[in-house]
Structure 1
Amino acid sequence: MFVTPAYAQAAGSAGAGSAFAQFIPLILIFAIMYFLMIRPQQKRVKQHREMVANLKKGDQVVTQGGLIGKVTAAREDELEVEIASGVKVRVVRGTISQVVTATTPVAANS
C-alpha cells in the first residue's frame, strides 16, 4: 500500500525544461499587466506633466478639488487662479486636472 521512498524520488525528478516551463505563465502575466496597465498609466502621467508645464495666463482650468477658474498668474510651482470676480486662490500646478479652454497665442501679422 505504501510507496517506497525510492519510487517517490524517481517520480518527482523533472528536467530543467519543465522548470522553465513553469515560469512561462508568470512571464506572460507580467507582460500582459505591463501592456494593459503600466504602459497606459505612464502615458497618462506624461500627458498630464506636459499639460501642467504648458499652463499660462488666461487658461481656464479645473482643479482636482473641482474649482473652475481662470489662470491670472503663472509661477514656477504654483498658479494664481481667479475663481470668481475678485476672488483669487493660489494652487499648486500638479493639482490642475484639466484645461477647459487654452489660450492661443496671437499670430503675427505678415
Structure 2
Amino acid sequence: MLINDAFAQAASSTQAGADWLSLLPMVGILIIFYLLLIRPQAKRAKEQKQMVEALQRGDEVITNGGILGLVINVSENYVVIEVAPTAEITVLKSSVQTLLPKGTLKSIEPKGKTQKTKTAKTTTAPESKKAEDTGEASDNKDNEAENNTEKK
C-alpha cells in the first residue's frame, strides 16, 4: 500500500473562543448606537409628550408649521390657537412643537408690516388726488411769489 489512510483531525478548542471575540465589535456598535441615538431620541420624545399633555389656556406656542399663537382652548386631541386678534385656528395637540415663555408674543414686533403700509399708502394714491396735490403745490408757489413782491 502506497497510500496511507487519512483520518480527520478534531477541531482545536481555540476556535470556540474566537467566535465570541468576533461578535464583540458588533455588540460594541449596538451599545454606541443606543447611547448616541436611541436614548437621546427617547428622552426628547418623552419631554415632548409631557409638554403637550401639560398645555393649558394662555400658553404661547409654536406649531410644527411655524405658526406662533396663544392657546385659547385645549381639548383631548385638539388645541385652538389665536394667531391674530380675530383669527383662531384649530390644530392637533401633537403638532405643537415648542412652548414659549410668557410674554414672548408681545415682545415680537412685526417689522415688515409697518414698512408695507407706508409704501402702500404713497404708491396707491388715485389720479385725482395727484392732480389736486400738484394744483396745491402751484398755488403755494404763487402765494410765495406774491408775498415776496409785497415785501419789496
Q: Provide the TM-score with structure 2 as the length reference.
A: 0.58
Query: Which residue pairs with 1:16 in the alignment?
Result: 16
The one-letter code sitting in structure 2 at the alignment partner of 1:34 is: Y
Counterpart of 1:90?
90
Match of 1:73 in 2: 73
Question: Are 1:63 and 2:76 matched, yes or no?
Answer: no
Structure 2 residue 39 is matched with structure 1 residue 54: no
Instruction: Determine which structure has more spread, i.e. the larger CA radius of gyration.
Output: 2
Give TM-score, length-normalised by structure 1: 0.79
Task: For 1:102 and 1:25, locate their aligned partners in 2 and report how far apart those are by CA, in whole Å.
Answer: 49
5+ long unaligned stretches in structure 2: 1-5, 104-152
More helix by share: 2
Q: Which amino acid aligns with 1:87?
A: A
Deviations 1:4-43 (CA, angstroms, capped at 9, x unpaired): xx9xx98x97611101110000000000110011000000
The letter for the 2-side match of 1:29 is: I
Residue 101 of structure 1 deviates from its aligned partner by: 2.5
Q: Which letter does structure 1 place at the counterpart of 2:27?
A: I
Distance across 1 between alignment mates of 2:47 and 2:75 = 20
Distance 1:86 1:74 in 2: 18
Q: Quick check: which one's strand share is greater?
A: 1
Q: Could you tell me which amino acid in structure 2 is paired with residue 101 of structure 1?
A: P
CA shift, 1:102, in A, is 5.2
Looking at structure 1, the residues matched to 52 and 62 of structure 2 have their Cα atoms a distance apart, in angstroms, of 12
Q: Which has the higher contact order (CA 8 A, sep 6+)?
A: 1
Matched, 1:31 2:31: yes
The percent of aligned pairs where both chains have the same amino acid is 33
Task: Show the counterpart of 2:101.
Answer: 101
